[in-house]
Structure formats: C-alpha cells, structure tokens
Amino acid sequence: MQKSIRQSMAWLHSWTGLLLGWLLFVIFVLGSISYYKNDVTAWMQPELHQIEVNQEYALNSVFKYLSHEAPDAKTWFINLASDESATTRVFWQAKDGSFTSKLLDPNTAKDVQLSPTQGGDFFYNFHFQLFGVPIIIGRLLVSFAACIMLIAMISGIITHKKIFAEFFTLRTFKSQRSWLDFHNMVSVIALPFFLMIAFTGLAMFFYLYLPTGLQKFYPDNRFGFFDEIRTTQIEQPKNLTPKPSQMIPIEKIQSQIKKLWPNQPEIDSIQVIQPFTDQAKIVIKQKEDRTITLNSDQLTFSLTTGEILNDLRNQHPVAKLYGGIYGLHMAPFAGPILKLAFFFSGILGCLMIASGLLLWSVKRQIQNKAQRFHLGHYLVDRLNVATFVGLPTAIICYLYTNRLYTLSHPNSPNQEISVFFISWLIMLCIACISKKQSLWSIQLFIFIVLSALLPITSIIVLLYFDYIQSLHDYMQYIQFDVFIWLFCGLSLFLWKNISPIQKQVQKKMQSKYQPNHGQKL
Amino acid sequence: MYTDSVKHRVNIFFRVMIACVGGYLCSMYFSLVVANVFLIIMPRAEAVFLSAFLAIIFFIIFFMTSFAMYSFKKVVIFSVFTTVLFYVLSYTLG
C-alpha cells in the first residue's frame, strides 16, 4: 500500500471505480429512467392513453370483481387506476398463501388487453435485480456494487483535498486534465444525491446480506419483521378465528371518505384484510405523499360496521427511518420539478462514472511509454464505449422494437428484451473491431441517427394505428420524444468535440516521448 | 523488481480478502451485538433494522481502514482483533 492515507485512498478510488464502474453506470442509467417508469410504460402502451379514469367508478368495479373472484381470500391488494397509471392492478392472497395478480380495466373490471411489453418495469427491475440471474443473486450483486460505490465516493472525497476549489476549474478539451476537471465537477454538483442514493439502495436489501439479525430474532418467520416495522402490533386472542360475515357496501365507505377527505385526493392503494369475515377491514392510502418516509395519509375502516379504526402505522423514529430509506431512494413525494432534478442527478451520476473510467483509460494511455498493445487497456477502452454509448443505443432499440414490432404483433411473444440485449452485444462487437481513433465517433454516430429518427418513427406508427389523430393526441407523447431528442443533441455535441480531446492526448503522448521535443524518454 | 511486483499483488489480494470477508464477518457480529443492546431500549424490529443500518456504515469504515493502513501486519491484527471482539460479545450477550 501507499505510505500516505491520501495516496492509499487514491489507489482505492481508482481500482474500486474501475472494478464495478460499468455495472454502476448501467444501474444509474436504468435507475434514472425508473423515475419515469410509468411514463415509459404509457409511451410503450398507447392503449393506456385511451382509457378514461374515474377512481370512484374504478373502486366500485374492482370491488365487484374481487367479491366475485376472491371472496375467501386472506387479503386483497388494489393499486387503483390513476392519472399516472391508467389500469387497476389487483392481487390477492388465497388461504393456501398463493398469490394471484390481474391487470384490470378501471371501467369494466375485465382483464385488460394491452401490448405485450414490460415497458418501464424492465428498466426498473433491471436496475436493482439485473436480468437473467436469480433475483437474489442479482440483488446481492447490486448491493455489492452500491457498497463499492460508497467506498469509491468516500475515498474520492479524501483523495481530493481541494475538492470544492477544483469544482470551479474546468479546462475544456485539454486531454487528461479535461476529464479530471469534468469528473470533479459533476461529482461535486450532486455529491449528496450520490451518497444518499448509494446508501439507501444498499440499506434496502440489508435482509439479504445481513440476515443474521432476522434469523436470530425472527426464527420462525423472517417476514414478520416487515409487518412489525410497518404496523403497530396489537395482541389478539389466539382463538379469535374470523367468522364468515357480509361486508357493508363500498358506497358507504366512499361517502365516509368524501366526508373525511373533502378535497377528494387521488387514492393510491387499497388493502382489504380478511374480506367477508367479521374482522374485515379496509385501508385506503392517498396518492399524494408529502413525507419522505412513505407516510402518506390513510384511513382504516371496519367493513362490517363501517366505523373508522385506529391508525396502525408504526410511528417509531426508527420505523420512520426505515420508510425514509425507501422514500428517499424512490422519491414518491417528488413533484414534477423535483422528479426532474432526481432524474438529472442520476444522469450526473452516469457522467461521473463515465468520466472516471475514461480518466483511468487516458491516464494509462499516456503512461504507456512503449506504446505497445496492452490487452487490459484495449478491453477497458472497448467496454467503456460499449457501456456508455452501447447501453443507451440498446435502450433506443428496445423502444424501436415496441413501435415496429410489438404494436403490430399484440399476440406474439415479446421480443423487446431480446432486441435490447442483441443490440447491446452488436455495439460491443462493433467496439471490438473498430480502430481506436474512430471508436467513439462510430458508436455515437449510430446512437445519434437512431435517437434522431425514433420520435419520427413513433409518430408514423401511431398515426398508422390511429392512436393519434390530432396534435392534441400527440401531446401525450411529446414529453418523451423531447427527452429522446435532448439526449440526441447532447450526443451530437460530444460527437463534434470528441476528436479535439483525442488529438490532445495524441499530442501529449508525442511531445512526452519524442526526444526532439526535449522531453526525457 | 519482479519479486516486489509479486509481493505487492499478494499484499493487495490478502487486503481485499481481509476487507471483504473479514469486514463482512465483523459487521455481522457487530450487528448482532448492537441489536442485542438496542433491544433494551426499543422494539425488536426497530433494533434489528437500526443495527443493520449501523453495520453497513461499520463495514465501510472497516473496508477503508484495511487499505488505509500501510503495515500489512497491523491490518491483520486490527481485523482479527475486532472480529474476535464482536464474536465474543455477540456470544456473551446471547
């Protein structure tokens, strides 16, 4: 190890950053998109834009559906259709403990027929449990990556003793210096966000990698922990078994809700515990959540008498801290502007990781005195470009597949995910066979062309399938298309300016190692 | 020169092992000890969560300390001592 702590931390920062940088980049890109996962799903399932949502009506119809389909279930969970998500998702737990899930039309309460796509959920699930590996392994790998990221960030802070002074230094298009300055700048801009997001992401999965506490204190049922941390436990007599009983009509509950919440806020979720028994109760949760501890307003009623019951949420400070790690990470409290800030902070995280990895590469390129082929450097260069440009290109191809295949083949198996991985692999292959000088320009060019044409392709397909008939209809898609063009524009800027940086590196290397320039060999 | 390079790599390998495996074991026992202590003042679920929360921070400190110390001998002593200490404490506290 190095003699000074700062040098040791610099070493640790470089190597931990390199080791999991690519995985962290993927997690950050897909995690940032996940803030808009419902919007991505709505873009990929144009049928959703044609559903009118009336929550009162949706609640009535879903109650009728569940009373008919699952009257003897233990619990019903209902994610009620809203402006954000136009379908009602229900799942219920049968007496044998098995779960059934259905996606319903909020108006008819019939199984809804949508395009066979995972939409934004694919990005959301990928960012915390990866794909193609067992869920537990994926989550453990992501947790490990989050832990390494925390270590890399803290060691990075220790390394840069003048981190805030360096924040105001940006020497553009000057080889290694430019990457270092850019890396410092983007790291400092959203540093609290990066620390928060990595730590909360890590803490969420503590039950997977630190299970000893749960095994010791919950030997019979580890999941009892989750009930206890969320709700206050009331001692109930053990022989009190629920007896069959009729429930009061949901309209009576709705009229009570109107009295207690006169502003008629949007409802997020409903849970019915022990339906059609004398212990049946309903918990209704508001959509708007101004807390960071997932503690939005809720009401609990008895479904046999209609009386309002005590709030059973656990209000212990540690229980709020537990809710806080989820709340801060997923930001359900964020309004449009704050959500945008979270999204762009995530994008800054991607830029931080990318610039760090590029800095590593450029530094070693300059240090490679013999100018000989180095397999490690070759791989890092190729993986860098295949991740930083290849992944966004794969995302664009995923979206293209939706427009060009899924919408016209509603009954065929979903090919979007296959196309996502195949296109990513193609980008890696292109990177492997490209010359170093043209590596970035080729990849960026592919991304720019594809992303520039995507909104146009989308409009043509939507017009063809009659999903849009006027400018007003298109307004529901415009935000998404503007985002695509924004990133296309950023890539165009990078594409135009990537060659000055490469030339600077080349010049520096030549001046350093050519004796004519008066430099030592 | 070659021996130095091999020595350096072996040193790094063992530091990584100590930081990851030793750090994990130590954090695990640390969380058990802290959970036992917290159980005196707070309910079970809260004690388990808060101890795990602190154990994550503990792991990060442990990991970074393993690389911050120049002497490899000190790293070994530090990791063995803390792991044994928390193991004994967790065993004693039940």
ipTM: 0.94
Check: CB of residue A282 under 8 Å from CB of residue A78. no
Instruction: Using the predicted structure, report yes or no on whether residue A520 has a pLDDT greater than 50.
Output: no
Cα dihedral sign, A467-A469-A473-A478 = positive
In 3D, which of A226, A305, A282, A381 has the Cα closest to residue A76? A282
Q: A255 CA to chain B: closest CA distance, Å?
A: 36
DSSP A317-386: HHHHHHHHHHHHHH-TT--HHHHHHHHHHHHHHHHHHHHHHHHHHHHHHHH-TT----HHHHHHHHHHHH
Least confident of A163-177, A270-284, A398-412, B44-58: A163-177
Contact between residue A194 and residue A352 where contact means Cβ atoms under 8 Å apart: yes
**What's the rounded mean pLDDT across residues A172-186?**
76
- Residue A2, chain B, CB below 8 Å: the answer is yes
User: Do residues A115 and A415 make contact, with C-beta atoms less than 8 angstroms apart?
Assistant: no
Mutation site for A-interface testing, chosen from B18, B64, B91 by largest number of A Cβ within 10 Å: B64
A20 interface with B at CB cutoff 8 Å: no
pLDDT band at A347 (very low <50, low <70, confident <90, very high): very high
* Cβ pair A400, A416 in contact under 8 A: no
Interface with A, mutate which of B20, B66, B67, B86 (most A CBs under 10 A): B67
Record: contact B42-A5, CB cut-off 8 A: no
Contacts A9 to B, Cβ<8 Å? 64, 67-68
One-letter amino acid identity for A498?
Answer: I
- Whether the per-residue pLDDT at A384 is higher than 90: the answer is yes
State whether residue A1 sits within 8 Å of chain B by CB: yes
Give the mean pLDDT of A193-218: 95
Instruction: Give the pLDDT of residue A288.
Output: 87
If one counts every other C-beta atom within 10 angstroms of the C-beta of residue A285, the result is: 18
pLDDT digits (tens, 9 = 90+) for B34-47: 999 999 999 999 99
Q: Does any CB of chain B come closer than 8 Å to the CB of residue A5? A: yes
- What type of residue is A460? I
pLDDT digits (tens, 9 = 90+) for A117-169: 999 999 999 999 999 999 999 999 999 999 999 999 999 998 877 776 766 66
Sign of torsion over alpha carbons A331, A134, A421, A149? positive
- pLDDT the model gives residue A272: 94
- Split at pLDDT 50, 70, 90, the class of A521 is very low
Per-residue pLDDT, A401: 97
- The distance of Cα A72 from the centroid of its chain, to the nearest Å, equals 36
Answer whether residue A515 shows pLDDT above 60.
no
Say how far apart CA A104 and CA A58 lie, in whole Å. 9
Q: Does A19 touch chain B (CB under 8 A)?
A: no
Q: What percent of chain A has pLDDT over 70?
A: 91
Q: What is the pLDDT confidence band of residue A383, given thresholds at 50, 70 and 90?
A: very high
Contact criterion met (CB below 8 Å) for A301 and A256: yes
Q: Tell me whether A344 touches chain B (CB under 8 Å).
A: no
**Cα–Cα distance list, A210 to A24, A128, A203, A316, B88 (Å):** 22, 17, 10, 22, 18
Torsion angle in degrees (nearest 10) through CA of A104, A125, A192, A20: -170
Per-residue confidence (pLDDT) for residue B50, from 0 to 100: 97
Which residues in B lie closer than 8 A to residue A203 (C-beta atoms)? Answer: 52-53, 56
Q: How far apart are CA A297 and CA A288, in angstroms?
A: 8
| Chain B: closest CA distance from residue A296 (Å) | 20
Residues of A with Cβ-Cβ distance to B59 under 8 angstroms: 147
A12 vs A428, residue with greater confidence: A428
pLDDT score for B63: 95
Q: B64: distance to nearest CA of chain A, Å? A: 7
Tell me the mean pLDDT in the region A488-498.
Answer: 90
Q: Which residues contact A452 (CB under 8 A, 6 or more apart)?
A: A485, A488
Predicted local distance difference test score (pLDDT) of residue A509: 63
CA angle A334, A336, A340 (to 5 degrees): 85
Q: Searching chain A, which residue's CA lies closest to the CA of residue B55?
A: A210
Average pLDDT over residues A5-10: 88
Q: What's the pLDDT at A407?
A: 92
A51-78 per-position pLDDT tens digit? 888 999 999 999 999 999 999 999 999 9
Task: Considering only the beta carbons, identify the residue of A9, A216, A229 that sits closest to B45.
Answer: A229
**Neighbouring-strand partners of residue A101:** A91
pTM of the predicted model, to two decimals? 0.91
- Whether B51 sits inside 8 A of A9 (CB atoms) is no
Cα–Cα distance measured from residue A204 to residue A138, given in angstroms and rounded to the nearest whole number: 14
| Nearest CA-CA partner of A143 in A74, A199, A79, A59 | A199
Q: What are phi and psi of A131, to 5 degrees?
A: -140, 140
| Beta sheet of A75-79, edge-to-edge order | A99-104, A88-93, A75-79, A267-273, A281-286, A298-302
- Is the Cα dihedral B40, B43, B47, B50 positive or negative? negative
- How many cross-chain Cβ pairs, A to B, lie less than 8 Å apart? 89
Q: Is the pLDDT of residue A370 over 70?
A: no
Confidence of residue A483 (pLDDT cuts 50, 70, 90): very high
Burial of B39 (0-12, 13-18, 19+ CB in 10 A): middle
Is the minimum CB–CB distance between A155 and chain B shorter than 8 Å? yes
- Higher pLDDT: A20 or A239? It is A20
Min Cα distance B79 → chain A (Å) is 16
Kindly list the residues of chain B whose beta carbon comes within 8 Å of any beta carbon in chain A. Answer: 11, 15, 27-28, 31-32, 35, 39, 42-53, 55-56, 59-60, 63-64, 67-70, 72
pLDDT at B1: 59
Looking at residue A235, its pLDDT comes to: 56
CB A386 within 8 A of CB A20: no
Alpha carbons A178 and A233: distance in angstroms, whole number: 57
Q: What is the mean pLDDT of residues A346-367?
A: 88
List the 179-198 stretch of A: residues with Cβ below 8 A of B.
none
Q: Residue ranges of chain B with pLDDT lower than 50?
A: none
- pLDDT winner (highest mean) among A153-167, A168-182, A355-369, A425-439: A425-439
**Long-range pairs for A338-345 at CB < 8 Å and ≥24 separation?**
A339/A35, A339/A36, A342/A32, A342/A35, A342/A193, A343/A32, A343/A35, A343/A36, A345/A190, A345/A193, A345/A194, A345/A197
Top-confidence residue, A517 or B49: B49
What residues contact A385, with CB distance under 8 A and at least 6 apart? A431, A439, A440, A443
Report the pLDDT value the prediction gives residue A449, as an integer from 0 to 100: 97
Closest CA to A5 of A148, A181, A157: A157
For residues A358 and A382, give the distance between their C-alpha atoms in angstroms, rounded to a whole number.
11
Residue A518 pLDDT grade (very low, low, confident, very high; cuts 50, 70, 90): very low
Q: Which residue of A has its CA nearest to B31?
A: A213
Q: What is the mean pLDDT of chain A?
A: 89
φ/ψ (deg, to 5) at B84: -65, -40
User: In angstroms, what CA-CA distances link A397 with A28, A223, A423, B3?
Assistant: 19, 40, 7, 50
* Residues A446-458: tens digit of each pLDDT: 999 999 999 999 9
* Cα–Cα distance measured from residue A9 to residue A3, given in angstroms and rounded to the nearest whole number: 11
